[in-house]
Amino acid sequence: MVGGGQLARMSHQAAIALGQSLRVLAASPGDPAALVCADVHLGNPDDLDALRDLARGAEAVTFDHEGVPGELLRTLQAEGVAVHPRPDALLHAQDKLVMRRALEGFAGTPEYVEVADAADVDGLAARTGWPVVLKAARGGYDGRGVWLLDGPDPGLVAQLLASGTPLMAEQAVTMRRELAVQVARSPDGQAAAWPVVETVQRDGQCVEVLAPAPDLDPATAAAAQELALRIASVLDVTGLLAVELFDTDGTAGGLVVNELAMRPHNSGHWTIEGARTSQFEQHLRAVLDYPLGATESTAPVVVMANVLGAASPVVMPVDERVHHLFARFPDVKIHLYGKAERPARKVGHVTALGDDLDEVRARAVLAAEWLSTAVWADGWSPYDADARATRFPRTMQRRAVSRA
């Protein structure tokens, strides 16, 4: 796997159960996957020799990010390496302009233009109105490389173009919410889809995933899955494909494609505990051309909440935060990535399961905020007698009293 981040780390966990060994190309020994994988190669994804070294003796090469030059991947292919997804497919997740052009005619997309100067942005706004979304055609993620323009800003456009950033501009879509669909496709064309989820965004970054998307019309859910499966087929994707959608009016005709990712994706982390087959296992199954696994949910409601680095330093060690979280919510699942904490950085996620959306979501959000800040947002305290009686197992009650 090219990349040593948290996606590679969780893929490594899935590989163990399949009897496979995951070799990773990491930029640093401190990368999340490099901390746990036995077979770590250090290098850069734009170094052909490093890629060749990674691929030597491997069944297949895949990715935990899209930042690999396509020409290098085509060289590997020409040398007989099985690359999944293939470079021609991966390009659609690397370049937003290429993606938009490929989807025209069969998928809802915002009106867009390639930007060579500020006049292109102004011309789009003349047709669609302000605001307009200015995007880096390559390299943006988690709100980076995206600028919402309420009016002409020729200085910003000129500055970005001068820095070598390829730009596009899109109509700002008015939407009800954001949805995501994940599908997997194997080299022989077998495909599978998970339930459609709602992603909750804050400052351009996903903070929660609600599975399945609440109050989503079944016909619209089916249309979203069918659209994602068609995109995977048309683009000849192998492995995971995540399709991020704008839900503009609650109907199948109101689905607008935002972005694509061809790898495990933040919107699919809920599947580790919440689906019969996790996105990480499924990606490996697809890349190795195994039959794909079942994708049904394991509970009526699953909520994943990202653990983000706090705005200010947290004194309580992470291990102590984990201890307190398990004491209050022993059923919440924690995944920490081994990353240093800094503001707004994704350092882990939690998953809660149950029957009632409001209750499950409240547990997940409280748990994630506690791990981020060491503060219970609802004021809960383990040293409150009522809290101990209702939330703590007997052994934990004794520990809480002794610590007090």
Predicted confidence band at 382 (pLDDT cuts at 50, 70, 90)? confident
Tell me what pLDDT residue 204 has: 83
Tell me what pLDDT residue 6 has: 98
Could you tell me which residue, 394 or 171, shows the higher pLDDT?
Answer: 171
- Fold of the domain spanning 6-83: Rossmann fold (3.40.50)
Q: Residue 257: enclosing H or E segment and its boundaries?
A: strand 255-261
For residue 130, list its beta bridge partners: none
Residue 399 has pLDDT above 80, yes or no: no
For residue 301, list its beta bridge partners: 354
pLDDT digits 0-9 by tens, 319-338: 999 999 999 999 999 999 99
Domain with CATH 3.30.70 in the chain: 301-403
Percent residues over pLDDT 90 in the chain: 91
Confidence (pTM): 0.92
CATH top class, domain 301-403:
alpha beta
For residues 196 and 59, what is the distance between their CA atoms, to the nearest angstrom? 31
Among candidates 393, 335, 380, which has minimal Cα distance to 9?
335
Residue 184 has pLDDT above 80, yes or no: yes
For residues 70 and 87, what is the distance between their CA atoms, to the nearest angstrom? 6
Helix pair 154-162, 118-128: axis angle to 10 deg: 130
Tell me what pLDDT residue 290 has: 97
CATH number of 177-287: 3.30.470.20
Domain with CATH 3.30.470.20 in the chain: 177-287
Tell me what pLDDT residue 203 has: 87
CB 76 within 8 A of CB 52: yes
Tell me what pLDDT residue 391 has: 52
Compute the average pLDDT of residues 359-364. 98
For residues 170 and 129, what is the distance between their CA atoms, to the nearest angstrom? 11
Tell me what pLDDT residue 139 has: 82
Residue 398 has pLDDT above 50, yes or no: no
Tell me what pLDDT residue 5 has: 97
Task: Find out if CATH 3.30.300.30 is the number for domain 111-171.
Answer: no
CB 341 within 8 A of CB 347: yes
Tell me what pLDDT residue 352 has: 98
Domain with CATH 3.30.1490.20 in the chain: 111-171
For residue 268, list its beta bridge partners: none
Task: Kindly report which listed range (48-57, 242-251, 390-399) carries the lowest average pLDDT score.
Answer: 390-399
CB 14 within 8 A of CB 184: no
Residue 19 has pLDDT above 90, yes or no: yes
Compute the average pLDDT of residues 190-203. 96
Calculate the average pLDDT of the chain: 94
Which residue is associated with the tokens 């022989």? 188
Residue 232 has pLDDT above 70, yes or no: yes
Domain with CATH 3.40.50.20 in the chain: 6-83
Among candidates 202, 197, 198, 151, which has minimal Cα distance to 172?
151
H-state helical runs in 56-137: 70-78, 87-94, 96-103, 118-128
For residues 272 and 279, what is the distance between their CA atoms, to the nearest angstrom? 7
CA angle 365, 209, 249 (to 5 degrees): 125
